[in-house]
Chain A
Amino acid sequence: MTDVTHDHASSTGISNVKLGMWAFLGSECLLFGGLISTYMLYRGRVTGGPRPSQIFDIPFTSVSSFILLMSSLTMVLAVSAAHKEDDRKINLWLTVTALLGATFVGGQVYEFTAFYKEGLGFSTSLFGSSFYTLTGFHGVHVTVGIIMLMSLVGILKRSKVPGKKAEVVEMIGLYWHFVDIVWIVIFTLVYLIPV
């Protein structure tokens, strides 16, 4: 059978979906690049409300950052299980990854709430607008990742995954690692480097 889009040996040797994800992530770099630049331009501009140094809780965010980084490890374990076609372990590690991601997002929700109570609203200052936009975009990316991970677990259980299983797990893995790497940059620039 000549299946037009899949079986046809690809010119690069990398599958279409994986290469497609790489291209998408390339584009995402510029998206976060723009958001990070905006934040870096505006982080010191506070005409009212708290300044960054007054509200950041570095130990708390460090812990949640650590949790997110650990989720990259479990994602690697899921991909490795997928290559070994060990379905039970794929499900286990995907679920753990999603839970760690959810913990991170939970931490972010808590952090946003705390900042809001301390007087930093979205419209309070340029710092507020750009901080919530940047970290919010990242949080949405993690959330989308969690939805993808949990959907994958569900689809795998009904063994309905279209295409090769390891390929799909790896593709979502790429996205997940990217989101983690972006957080390393954001955490460093936003939280660790003083204004």
Chain B
Amino acid sequence: MAIIERPAPTVPAVVTPTSTYGVLKRPVSATGWRSWVFTVDHKKIGIMYGATAMFFFIVGGVEALLIRLQLAAPNGKVLNADLYNQMFTMHATTMVFLFVMPMAAAFANYFVPLQIGARDVAFPRLNAFSFWALLFGGIFLNLAWFLGGAADGGWFMYAPNSGPVFSPTNGVDFWALGLQITGIASLAGAINLIITVLNMRAPGMSLMKMPIFTWMITVVQFLLLFAVPVITVALFLLSFQRNFGARFFDVAAGADPLLWQHLFWIFGHPEVYILILPSFGIISEVLPVFSRKPLFGYPFVVFSGAAIGFVGWGVWAHHMFASGLGPVSVAVFSLTTMAIAVPTGVKIINWTLTMWGGKLWFTTAMKFAIGLIVLFTVGGLSGVTHSVAPSDTQQTDTYYIVAHFHYVLFGGAVLGIFSGFYYWWPKVFGKMLNEKLGSWNFWLMIIGLNLTFGPMHILGLQGQPRRMYRWTEARAGEGFFNLAFWNMIASIGSFILTTGILMFLINVWVTWRNPKKAPLDPWDARSLEWMTTNPPKEHNFDVIPTVHHLDEFFHRKYEEDATTHTMKQVATAEELMAEQERNADKHIHMPSPSYWPIVLAFALPIITFGIIYSYLISVVGGVIVLFAAYGWALESSTAPDSDFENNTPGTALAIHD
């Protein structure tokens, strides 16, 4: 009998810092809060992104409930007009910038390196910086609630209403400067992920062998790279007007307030694809796994995603049909808006055909994915009605618009995110989520969201304005189209929806207390991130895999039987894992933790705070930026070789490769 010697597990080498950078030696803690705050590990950063986004999801959700309470009955008294304005502005801002975007960043951070067979992102410290800048930016945005009132101009903050005359509180200042900070976070994150995908793919992984989720994330990062600077300009113009007396949107000086609308929507329309494409990517992973078939027409899904990315730049003015652009512009943007429905339709067909003839396995993740296909299609169809300019002009600023974008964002982006939660939870935490609670979670959310947002189509077509803080019985109308009835239904629906989301939180809580350990490959999955332990080791892979196929992991488990032409299992995930451990790379030097990302990120809200209150505070922030930048530049991303302790178990006898 052969004795199989199981090697000691590979443990990343311990670092003992010898030099200081500025005044600080680099942190070393591998446990406790320090191991999170100073981490550069893409997986820990991903989890922190997720937790932050979840927190803001709850904040934005409470804001939404207050809005629905206010509108449930005539003459709502829950909020006054002023507070109501702040509520819908911050609800949208929070959900877009502090929930969906960071949650997509959470998935991207965690899974892109794993899916491409890398051990970390290209710039690990920049990654940590992105996260902290997002968190501090989000806190800064919400500080306004306690310092004289939040922003109240709606999430697109049209000029000249956003100017100092019409918005005298500091709310808009906090909003504009806070979004600058989260914009810096997005931009840094985008550069990081683009370079990671372009440069750090495992050997053999050509672009067309890349998992589809990674592809969609890549498209999103390019959109961010080019869209964020445009809103940066718009926000600078707004801040300069409010804080330094510039005239950009001052009509008395001959200004053109439409400039804001153009700048905002040139950012804003790519932004909606930034919100939805990550979820498209998630369900494009989920559907093949639970249909037991490869993704139908992988290249079509890739290129339609890229096409959405391109055409997404040419449709912005359909947000402005009511602003009097002139017939030529309106015609052009109508056509492009119809055109962009095509690549989206291609995707929906591909997902449907992926399921066609497959052995469907209705897990919670799969249900959410199917939910996305159905409800996003509803939202997509009402979207096409907006491309018809005459009809859109009637619908502008009514609840019909609200219905549309909640179907695409809640029915699309959010359902995709929940699909991802259930699919990847075992990978990230090593525990399974409860499927029964998952089912409650899914059905309550589906019923709740249709009850909430479905009636808004009717409300909108009946002419209920989007941002009216209350409605009166006298103008509610009668019969089927009675505003009172449908407003009440929508409000009841919003609480059912909330119960659904609570089910998720309960699920997390219950399975955390009584964990069911996740098997290595619970879903019989297809892509590389499943070829590691649950949760993955700090260095992700013991051996960097060499890729030969799209769905590499699947092809290592299954081979085609030459006679029957069916796929036959040739290896289990456990066997593949054991093989990796036998051949583990030694002396893996992971990027080392650093103080500088959080220090640098913390300086940003100090600077912006100073712009509102006193330039002296800004100077302090500026000094911290300089200090942190030098510390950062002088410190190498990975500690020097001499700092590594070489006598760590499992690495002692290894050869330096």
Residues of A within 8 A of B (CB): 1-6, 8, 10-12, 14, 16, 19-20, 23-24, 26-28, 30-31, 33-35, 38, 41-42, 45, 47, 122-123, 125-126, 128-130, 133, 151, 155, 160, 162-163
Contact = CB atoms under 8 A, between A and B. Distances in A.
A26 B198 CA distance: 15
A45 B253 contact: yes
Given A4-B120, A47-B253, A129-B248, A23 B195 contact: yes
Contacts of A30: 226-227, 229-230
B322 interface: no
A129 B194 CA distance: 35
B187 interface: yes
A41 B589 CA distance: 53
B137 interface: no
A129 B253 CA distance: 11
Interface stretch (B334-342, B362-370, B634-642): B634-642
Contact of B635 (A23, A125, A129, A162): A162
B587 A126 contact: no
A19 B195 contact: yes
| 8 closest residue pairs by CB, A with B | A34-B233, A162-B636, A31-B229, A129-B246, A10-B199, A123-B245, A30-B229, A4-B119
A151 B191 contact: no
A133 B119 CA distance: 42
A38 B248 contact: yes
B589 A38 contact: no
B172 to A, nearest CB: 18
A24 B224 CA distance: 11
A5 B591 contact: yes
Contact of A20 (B123, B263, B635): B123
Contacts of B630: 151
Contact of B633 (A1, A10, A20, A151): A151
B26 interface: no
A168 to B, nearest CB: 9
Contacts of B657: 1-2
A45 B245 contact: no
Contacts of A10: 198-200
Contacts of B588: 2, 4
B255 interface: yes
A141 to B, nearest CB: 13
B237 A38 contact: yes
Given A23-B194, A133-B236, A125 B253 contact: yes
Nearest to A4: B119
Contacts of A34: 229-230, 232-234, 263
B255 A126 contact: yes
A119 B577 CA distance: 74
Contacts of A42: 248, 255-256
Given A24-B191, A38-B233, A14 B633 contact: no
A129 B240 contact: yes
A31 B656 CA distance: 46
Contacts of A12: 198-199
A122 B229 contact: no
Contacts of A35: 233
Nearest to B206: A11
A11 B204 CA distance: 9
B123 A126 contact: no
A129 B641 CA distance: 53
B311 interface: no
B225 interface: yes
Contacts of B195: 16, 19-20, 23
Given A1-B641, A122-B245, A123-B247, 12 more contacts: A2-B588, A8-B200, A19-B195, A31-B233, A38-B233, A38-B263, A122-B246, A126-B248, A126-B255, A129-B241, A129-B247, A163-B636
Contact of A2 (B227, B252, B589): B589
Interface string B583-601: 0010111110000000000
Nearest to B116: A11
Contacts of B201: 11
A155 B253 CA distance: 49
A147 to B, nearest CB: 8
Nearest to A10: B199
A11 B635 CA distance: 25
A176 B136 CA distance: 31
Nearest to B630: A151
Contacts of A163: 636
Nearest to A16: B122
Contacts of A162: 633-637
Contacts of A8: 118, 200
B470 interface: no
Given A6-B638, A125-B253, A16 B233 contact: no
Interface in B276-293: none
A14 B122 CA distance: 12
B43 interface: no
Q: Counting chain B CB atoms within 10 Å of each CB, which of A20, A33, A45, A128 scores highest?
A: A20
Interface string B443-467: 0000000000000000000000000
A155 B638 contact: no
Nearest to A147: B626
Interface in B629-657: 630, 633-638, 641, 656-657
B625 to A, nearest CB: 11
B191 A23 contact: yes
Nearest to B589: A3
A5 B259 CA distance: 42
Contacts of A33: 229-230
B478 to A, nearest CB: 49
Contact of B246 (A6, A45, A123): A123
Nearest to A152: B633
B226 A27 contact: yes
Contacts of B234: 34
A41 B199 contact: no
A176 to B, nearest CB: 17
Contacts of A19: 195, 198-199
B198 A155 contact: no
A12 B201 CA distance: 10
A5 B126 CA distance: 12
B585 A2 contact: yes
Contacts of B232: 31, 34
B244 interface: yes
B619 to A, nearest CB: 16
Contacts of A11: 198-201, 205
Contacts of B123: 5, 16, 20
Contacts of A6: 637-638
Contacts of A122: 244-246
A155 B633 contact: yes
A26 B230 contact: no
B228 interface: yes
B254 interface: yes
B656 A27 contact: no
Interface string B528-555: 0000000000010000000000000000
A1 B241 CA distance: 54
B102 interface: no
A26 B636 CA distance: 26
Contacts of B587: 1-2
Interface string B98-136: 000000000000000000001111111000000000000
24 contacts: A2-B657, A3-B638, A4-B590, A6-B637, A6-B638, A8-B200, A11-B201, A16-B199, A23-B190, A23-B225, A27-B229, A33-B230, A34-B230, A38-B233, A41-B256, A45-B254, A122-B244, A123-B244, A123-B245, A125-B254, A126-B254, A129-B240, A129-B247, A162-B633
